[in-house]
A = this chain, B = another copy of it.
Amino acid sequence: MRKPPARPPIVPEDINIDVLEDTLSFYIRTINLAVSRDLDERLEGLDVAKGTGKITTLLLVDDYPGIRPSVIAHLILRDRSAMGRLIDQMEGHGLIRREVSPDDSRAQELYITEAGAALAVKIREIVPKQSRDFFSFIPEDEQRLVMDILRRAYRRIVGLP
Protein backbone atom coordinates (compact mmCIF):
# COMPACT_ATOMS: atom_id res chain seq x y z
CA MET A 1 0.00 0.00 0.00
CA ARG A 2 1.43 3.29 -1.04
CA LYS A 3 1.27 6.36 1.04
CA PRO A 4 -0.80 9.19 -0.40
CA PRO A 5 1.30 12.19 -1.49
CA ALA A 6 3.11 11.71 1.80
CA ARG A 7 1.23 14.36 3.68
CA PRO A 8 3.74 16.94 4.78
CA PRO A 9 2.32 16.24 8.21
CA ILE A 10 0.66 19.56 8.76
CA VAL A 11 0.99 22.09 6.06
CA PRO A 12 1.54 25.56 7.35
CA GLU A 13 -1.16 26.86 5.07
CA ASP A 14 -3.89 25.16 7.00
CA ILE A 15 -2.77 26.32 10.37
CA ASN A 16 -4.81 28.46 12.64
CA ILE A 17 -3.30 29.58 15.88
CA ASP A 18 -6.27 29.05 18.12
CA VAL A 19 -7.23 31.84 20.50
CA LEU A 20 -4.00 33.62 19.72
CA GLU A 21 -5.59 34.54 16.43
CA ASP A 22 -7.50 37.22 18.32
CA THR A 23 -4.97 38.05 20.95
CA LEU A 24 -3.24 41.34 20.48
CA SER A 25 -0.42 40.47 22.84
CA PHE A 26 0.50 37.52 20.66
CA TYR A 27 1.01 39.72 17.65
CA ILE A 28 2.92 42.32 19.59
CA ARG A 29 5.22 39.70 21.02
CA THR A 30 5.82 37.88 17.79
CA ILE A 31 6.20 40.87 15.55
CA ASN A 32 8.55 42.31 18.12
CA LEU A 33 10.87 39.39 17.51
CA ALA A 34 10.88 39.89 13.80
CA VAL A 35 11.24 43.63 13.77
CA SER A 36 13.93 43.61 16.43
CA ARG A 37 16.01 41.13 14.51
CA ASP A 38 15.67 43.12 11.37
CA LEU A 39 16.65 46.27 13.18
CA ASP A 40 19.69 44.61 14.67
CA GLU A 41 20.86 43.72 11.23
CA ARG A 42 20.55 47.26 10.05
CA LEU A 43 22.45 48.54 13.01
CA GLU A 44 25.23 46.02 12.52
CA GLY A 45 28.43 47.35 13.97
CA LEU A 46 26.97 50.65 15.04
CA ASP A 47 27.75 50.43 18.77
CA VAL A 48 24.06 50.50 19.38
CA ALA A 49 22.49 47.14 18.79
CA LYS A 50 20.19 44.85 20.70
CA GLY A 51 17.55 46.13 23.05
CA THR A 52 15.34 49.16 22.82
CA GLY A 53 17.43 50.88 25.41
CA LYS A 54 20.44 52.24 23.64
CA ILE A 55 18.72 54.02 20.84
CA THR A 56 16.21 55.75 23.03
CA THR A 57 18.90 56.66 25.51
CA LEU A 58 21.14 58.14 22.88
CA LEU A 59 18.39 60.30 21.45
CA LEU A 60 17.15 61.43 24.83
CA VAL A 61 20.60 62.37 26.05
CA ASP A 62 21.17 64.23 22.83
CA ASP A 63 17.89 66.10 23.15
CA TYR A 64 17.96 66.71 26.87
CA PRO A 65 21.47 67.39 28.07
CA GLY A 66 21.71 66.60 31.72
CA ILE A 67 18.84 64.15 31.70
CA ARG A 68 18.95 61.64 34.50
CA PRO A 69 19.36 57.91 34.19
CA SER A 70 16.24 57.20 36.17
CA VAL A 71 14.12 59.32 33.86
CA ILE A 72 15.31 57.35 30.88
CA ALA A 73 14.97 54.08 32.74
CA HIS A 74 11.37 54.89 33.30
CA LEU A 75 10.75 55.69 29.65
CA ILE A 76 12.34 52.52 28.41
CA LEU A 77 10.76 50.32 31.04
CA ARG A 78 13.90 49.14 32.70
CA ASP A 79 14.97 49.19 36.28
CA ARG A 80 17.76 51.37 37.51
CA SER A 81 20.27 48.58 37.60
CA ALA A 82 19.71 47.66 34.00
CA MET A 83 19.90 51.32 33.12
CA GLY A 84 23.19 51.66 34.94
CA ARG A 85 24.76 48.86 32.97
CA LEU A 86 23.40 50.29 29.78
CA ILE A 87 25.06 53.58 30.56
CA ASP A 88 28.30 51.82 31.46
CA GLN A 89 28.26 50.32 28.04
CA MET A 90 27.50 53.49 26.17
CA GLU A 91 30.03 55.40 28.20
CA GLY A 92 32.52 52.69 27.38
CA HIS A 93 31.81 53.25 23.72
CA GLY A 94 32.35 56.95 24.24
CA LEU A 95 28.82 57.92 23.28
CA ILE A 96 27.80 59.67 26.45
CA ARG A 97 29.37 60.71 29.70
CA ARG A 98 28.01 61.12 33.19
CA GLU A 99 28.50 63.76 35.80
CA VAL A 100 27.29 64.01 39.31
CA SER A 101 24.43 66.44 39.47
CA PRO A 102 25.34 69.61 41.32
CA ASP A 103 21.72 69.85 42.46
CA ASP A 104 21.66 66.45 44.04
CA SER A 105 24.78 64.50 44.53
CA ARG A 106 22.99 61.20 44.53
CA ALA A 107 21.94 61.82 40.99
CA GLN A 108 23.78 61.95 37.71
CA GLU A 109 23.43 64.04 34.64
CA LEU A 110 24.05 62.55 31.26
CA TYR A 111 25.65 64.36 28.37
CA ILE A 112 26.25 63.43 24.80
CA THR A 113 29.75 63.26 23.39
CA GLU A 114 30.77 64.19 19.89
CA ALA A 115 30.78 60.58 18.85
CA GLY A 116 27.38 60.16 20.43
CA ALA A 117 25.95 63.14 18.63
CA ALA A 118 27.31 61.86 15.35
CA LEU A 119 25.76 58.49 15.96
CA ALA A 120 22.47 60.11 16.88
CA VAL A 121 22.39 61.71 13.47
CA LYS A 122 22.75 58.36 11.80
CA ILE A 123 20.25 56.74 14.10
CA ARG A 124 17.62 59.33 13.31
CA GLU A 125 17.85 58.26 9.73
CA ILE A 126 18.23 54.54 10.03
CA VAL A 127 15.73 53.70 12.72
CA PRO A 128 12.59 55.30 11.32
CA LYS A 129 13.52 54.11 7.89
CA GLN A 130 13.95 50.57 9.08
CA SER A 131 10.53 50.67 10.64
CA ARG A 132 8.90 52.06 7.53
CA ASP A 133 10.66 49.53 5.36
CA PHE A 134 9.90 46.63 7.58
CA PHE A 135 6.23 47.46 7.67
CA SER A 136 6.12 48.68 4.12
CA PHE A 137 3.54 46.08 3.18
CA ILE A 138 1.11 47.82 5.49
CA PRO A 139 -0.43 50.80 3.75
CA GLU A 140 0.87 54.13 5.00
CA ASP A 141 -2.43 55.18 6.51
CA GLU A 142 -2.88 51.95 8.38
CA GLN A 143 0.63 52.22 9.70
CA ARG A 144 -0.17 55.63 11.00
CA LEU A 145 -3.37 54.37 12.51
CA VAL A 146 -1.66 51.61 14.41
CA MET A 147 1.02 53.98 15.49
CA ASP A 148 -1.44 56.50 16.83
CA ILE A 149 -3.10 53.86 18.91
CA LEU A 150 0.09 52.31 20.16
CA ARG A 151 1.50 55.72 20.93
CA ARG A 152 -1.35 56.30 23.29
CA ALA A 153 -0.76 52.89 24.80
CA TYR A 154 2.89 53.63 25.32
CA ARG A 155 2.27 57.03 26.83
CA ARG A 156 -0.24 55.56 29.13
CA ILE A 157 2.10 52.80 30.21
CA VAL A 158 4.92 55.15 31.12
CA GLY A 159 2.61 57.82 32.41
CA LEU A 160 3.17 60.50 29.83
CA PRO A 161 0.31 62.93 29.20
A binding-site residues for B, Cβ under 8 Å: 3, 6-7, 9-10, 12-13, 15-36, 39, 52, 55-56, 59-60, 62-64, 66-68, 71, 74-77, 101, 103-104, 107, 109, 124, 127-128, 130-132, 134-135, 137-138, 142-143, 145-147, 149-154, 156-161
- Give the copy number: 2
Contact A52 B26, beta carbon cutoff 8 Å: yes
A20 to B10, CA, bound (A): 40
A29 to B62, CA, bound (A): 21
Provide the residues of chain B in CB contact with A9, threshold 8 Å.
66-68, 71, 101, 103, 107, 109
Contact B131 A60, beta carbon cutoff 8 Å: no
A23 to B23, CA, bound (A): 22
Contact A59 B17, beta carbon cutoff 8 Å: yes
Contact B156 A137, beta carbon cutoff 8 Å: yes
Contact B29 A52, beta carbon cutoff 8 Å: yes
Contact B71 A12, beta carbon cutoff 8 Å: yes
Provide the residues of chain B in CB contact with A146, threshold 8 Å.
24, 145-146, 149-150
Contact B127 A25, beta carbon cutoff 8 Å: yes
Provide the residues of chain B in CB contact with A15, threshold 8 Å.
60, 64, 71, 75, 160
Among B13, B31, B149, B160, point to the contact of A12 (Cβ < 8 A).
Answer: B160
